[in-house]
Amino acid sequence: MISFIIPTLNESSVIRKLLDNLRHYSAPHEVIISDGRSTDGTIDIARESGASVVVYEGTARQTIGDGRNLGAAQARGDFLLFMDSDVTVPDPDMFFASALQEFTRDPKLVGITVRISVSPELAQRGDGFLTWFISTVNYLQNNILGVGAASGEFQLVRADAFKKAGGYNASLAAGEDYEFFRRLSKLGHTRYVGDLTVYHTGRRAHKTGWFRLWMTWNINAIKVFFLGSSASREWKEVR
């Protein structure tokens, strides 16, 4: 069974679409919304849609990694799928049948990521090149170098491997997704599956600009890799 784990903070504009999308998955599954104390109706939408909701009770601002860990602590599935709230999956039954088949073919496989593209109706100039670039990096690092790499839009992992890896580093404001997959790759194989694609809104890149966002990603990745801490002190909401 797959446990879908979705961290949220004021996502009322997009979360209903994702939850409606996941209803088309007919295999046994659960949807867990890990919320950072939204004030815009996100929690109500999630509960109305039948998702399980866990709300952060800490006083400091919650990191995305902390939100994912909080959701994972509630999960009952053999596989954990960490997704962002503005992601959608085409034909979920066919998609997840293919995704899970990867684990059947390779018993040592502990995690996969897929191609992540901007939804065609929202795509802007430059989105295609950046999608290709990120996909190439993830392919090289997972499938060739074996060091693990995946962005938080889509990370499907074995539940036992997630626990063994210790989950996400909740102290990181940014870069926690790639850092987690790097540690995960030390426990087994990780893979980029280019035949499968999920779609997202591209909202952060469209608001800040791809070049600026790409530079922010790289600066954070370098600092996390060498110093174990992110350059960004806070990953601000983009809505």
Tell me the per-residue pLDDT of 131-149, one tens digit each, with 9 for 90 and over: 898 899 999 999 999 999 9
234 lies in a domain?
Answer: no
* Domain interval for residue 43: 2-227
Locus of tokens 């962002």: 84
Any domain includes 232: no
Q: How many domains does the chain have?
A: 1
Question: Other CB atoms closer than 10 Å to residue 8's CB: what's the count?
Answer: 27
Q: Is residue 237, in this structure, part of any structural domain at all?
A: no
- DSSP letter string, 147-175: S----TTEEEEEHHHHHHHTS--TT-SSS
Q: Is 176 a domain residue?
A: yes
Residue 209 has pLDDT above 50, yes or no: yes
Asked if residue 173 is part of any domain, the answer here is yes
Contact 99, 92 (CB under 8 A): no
- Rounded mean pLDDT of the chain? 89
d(CA 175, CA 83): 15
CATH code, domain with 62: 3.90.550.10
- Note whether residue 175 is domain-resident: yes
Query: How many residues belong to the chain?
Result: 239
Report if residue 30 sits inside a domain.
yes
Residue 238 within any structural domain of the chain: no
Helical spans, DSSP H, in 89-208 = 92-105, 127-139, 159-165, 176-184, 203-208
Give 8-40 pLDDT, tens digit per residue.
999 999 999 999 999 999 999 999 999 999 999
